[in-house]
Amino acid sequence: QVQLVESGGGLVQAGGSLRLSCAASGLTFRSSAMGWFRQAPGKERDFVAGISWRGVTTYDADSVKGRFTVFRDIAKNTVYLRMNSLNSEDTAVYYCAADPAGRGDSRQNAYAYWGQGTQVTVSS
């Protein structure tokens, strides 16, 4: 069965950095697209970044482009989200998702599998 396990969340001061990891198992990682979403308290879950099976990356331009980087290590079946210049608006639970069809777009319903989420809290 497919499992996605996120790690790397925590408490960080504004202006700081974190790197989230998502280890995938039970799927063909190299042909899957992976996405990162986040849900802030009282808000809907939103797309943050994605990487297609070809390695093409997409970002939610308004909120994270230029500060966040999504990348993967196929040998480790792991996708990462590097987050720099964090601010209080980045506080949320961050979820990893997998799309075995490889598309990697921003739609939540494109992703068949989800991790349990990891909390990121940015203190000002």
Which three-class secondary structure string do you get for 34-64?
Answer: EEEEEECCCCCEEEEEEECCCCCEEECCCCC
- Model confidence at 104: pLDDT above 80: no
What does DSSP say about strands 113-114 and 92-99: parallel, antiparallel, or unpaired? antiparallel
Closest Cα partner for 19 from 49, 55, 52? 49
Phi and psi of 89, rounded to 5°? -70, -10
State the average pLDDT over residues 27-50.
96
Amino acid at 30: R
Cα–Cα dist 3/24, whole Å:
6
In sign, the C-alpha dihedral spanning 54, 55, 61, 63 is positive
pLDDT score, position 84: 98
pLDDT score, position 44: 96
How confident is residue 119, by pLDDT bands cut at 50, 70 and 90? very high
How confident is residue 23, by pLDDT bands cut at 50, 70 and 90? very high
State the average pLDDT over residues 45-52.
96
pLDDT score, position 39: 98
pLDDT score, position 62: 84
Cross-strand partners of 100: none
- Model confidence at 95: pLDDT above 90: yes
